[in-house]
Amino acid sequence: MSDADLDAYRARARSWLEANLEPVGSPRPRATDVDPGFLAEERRRQRELCSAGYAGIAWPSTYGGQGLSSRHERVFNEEAEGFRTPDFGVLGQTTFGICVPTMLAHGSPELLARHVPHVVAGNSLWVQLFSEPDAGSDLAGVRTRATRSGDRWTVSGSKIWSSGAYFADHGLCLARTSWDVPKHRGLTWFAVPMDAPGVTIRRLRQITGASEFCQVFLDGVELTDADVVGEVDAGWSVARTMLATERGGGSRGAADAAHPADALAPDLVALADGVGRRDDPQVRDLVARAHVADVVMAELRSRVIALSRAGVADPGSLAAYVKLAHGTVTPERARIGLQIAGAAALSWPEGSAAEAATAHAFLAGRSQSIAGGTNEMMRNVIGERLLGLPREHSVDTDVPFAEVIRRTGATPAPGQGPSGECAR
């Protein structure tokens, strides 16, 4: 593929965008509360992209994508930056950046053909059903169970911090399918319709006032072998792919992402203009500091993905660098925004989006040091798996998971007896 080919693709994309999409004057805050009317409009926008050939750009054409390269995807994203493209809130990243790439890596052709074209067309949004009330940092310790009978499965348990579950169409759910092996084995992923009988969703109110987080209860949800993603009892390899993608080490096209070298923290510059502090030396210093962090983050992401593709180290381990950087830089950048806005980020006139977004970013910023793996966990991964430092002592690595539950006296998982013995 030559640069001339990409230039021609860029010109076609720019022409279509200008003719079909509404321009936006400034970056929009991500949607944090989605109602049916909003969702219907965003699905319509996604269908427009799909019909024009600009959805699923780097996904295989076999499954409804365009079968082009990540460089084409990057070019389109650059050109679309100033236009009103579909905004599915948190499920936009979860669906297009995490769940589908994970399924493309591990799903059967039949499963992909059944689901991915609907994602491309805007008809299906996906949520991660991963963490549990008793398995947050220790993700391999999930106790949602899936019991098999012939080609049928029954899934019961609870998932938490499932962002956007209340308007998702499907969930990618990790369940335990074998209790007599160590915790990293005996795990299996399932594609779960979120409107299936037995699925109950409870929204959780956050410090920002939004209710994106959800707890999902699965009570005897019936699935089939066709809903299995990857191999039965080999779900940890799928989980590692998902974690690498979520943490920034495996997103398709991410290595070719544009660097912000020519864009001086535009959100903060616009904020400084809005509060009349553009020429304040302290503010200019803060903007420069944020800009340096933006450039370093982009370079780090590109470097990590390039190393992953080159096979230098496990992508999931390398991604810990990106996740740790996000967990430290995001709260600091949010604090910079608050310093620039001052009192305007505490009280603002209705319709002042920049000030509202600044307050929201500050309240939500600390979550990046927890979500997807805490900063402390990422430091452990880097130290143990990449730098070769001694591993922390573990007492359950080679112990059947049912025995771990018995030893700890933990509350039995659904389907387990009082003694902790798993129901057969």
Whether 88 contacts 95, CB under 8 Å: yes
Whether 43 contacts 105, CB under 8 Å: no
Q: Please, which pLDDT band fits residue 253 given cuts at 50, 70 and 90?
A: very low
Whole-angstrom distance, CA of residue 31 vs CA of residue 84:
13
* DSSP-assigned letter for residue 390: P
Q: What is the pLDDT of residue 261?
A: 54
CA atoms 217, 218, 220, 222: torsion sign: positive
Whether 52 contacts 117, CB under 8 Å: no
Whole-angstrom distance, CA of residue 316 vs CA of residue 248:
9
Q: What is the pLDDT of residue 252?
A: 41
Between 78 and 263, whose confidence is greater? Answer: 78
Q: Please, which pLDDT band fits residue 29 given cuts at 50, 70 and 90?
A: low
pLDDT for residue 392 is more than 90: no
pLDDT for residue 217 is more than 70: yes
Q: How much is the average pLDDT of 71-82?
A: 92
Whether 106 contacts 241, CB under 8 Å: yes
pLDDT for residue 251 is more than 50: no
Whole-angstrom distance, CA of residue 214 vs CA of residue 39:
18
Q: What is the pLDDT of residue 410?
A: 61
Whole-angstrom distance, CA of residue 377 vs CA of residue 384:
10
Q: Among 373, 251, 261, 377, which residue's Cα sits nearest to residue 305?
A: 251
Whether 176 contacts 186, CB under 8 Å: yes
* DSSP-assigned letter for residue 184: T
Q: How much is the average pLDDT of 163-186?
A: 95
Q: Among 115, 116, 209, 210, which residue's Cα sits nearest to residue 166?
A: 210
pTM (2 d.p.): 0.82
Whether 200 contacts 166, CB under 8 Å: no
Whether 176 contacts 187, CB under 8 Å: yes
Whole-angstrom distance, CA of residue 294 vs CA of residue 289:
9
Q: What is the pLDDT of residue 226?
A: 97
Token digits of residue 214: 């959800």
Q: Please, which pLDDT band fits residue 328 given cuts at 50, 70 and 90?
A: very high
Q: How much is the average pLDDT of 156-165?
A: 95
Token digits of residue 377: 């966990």
Q: What is the mean pLDDT of the chain?
A: 87
**CA dist list (Å): 275 to 179, 345, 351, 424:** 58, 10, 14, 64
Between 154 and 312, whose confidence is greater? Answer: 154
Whether 76 contacts 259, CB under 8 Å: no
Amino acid found at 268: L
Active site positions, annotated: 246
Q: How much is the average pLDDT of 30-55?
A: 88
Map residue 285 onto helix, strand or coil: helix
User: How long, in residues, is the chain?
Assistant: 424
Whether 58 contacts 104, CB under 8 Å: no
Instruction: Give DSSP secondary structure letters for 19-60.
Output: HHS-B-SSPPPPP-S--HHHHHHHHHHHHHHHHHT-SSTTS-
Whether 144 contacts 218, CB under 8 Å: yes
Token digits of residue 422: 């798993």
**CA dist list (Å): 205 to 21, 127, 210, 233, 358:** 34, 18, 6, 34, 19
Q: What is the pLDDT of residue 415?
A: 45
Find the range with the poorest average confidence among 29-33, 322-326, 409-413.
409-413
pLDDT for residue 416 is more than 50: no
Token digits of residue 311: 């096979």
pLDDT for residue 167 is more than 80: yes
pLDDT for residue 259 is more than 70: no
Find the range with the poorest average confidence among 221-230, 262-271, 328-337.
262-271
Beta bridge partners of 191: 172
Beta strands in 271-386 (DSSP E): none
Amino acid found at 296: V
Q: Please, which pLDDT band fits residue 27 given cuts at 50, 70 and 90?
A: low
Domains, the chain, ordered by start? 12-89+112-124 (no CATH), 128-235 (2.40.110.10), 264-387 (1.20.140.10)
Q: What is the pLDDT of residue 235?
A: 96
Whether 394 contacts 380, CB under 8 Å: no
Whether 139 contacts 236, CB under 8 Å: no
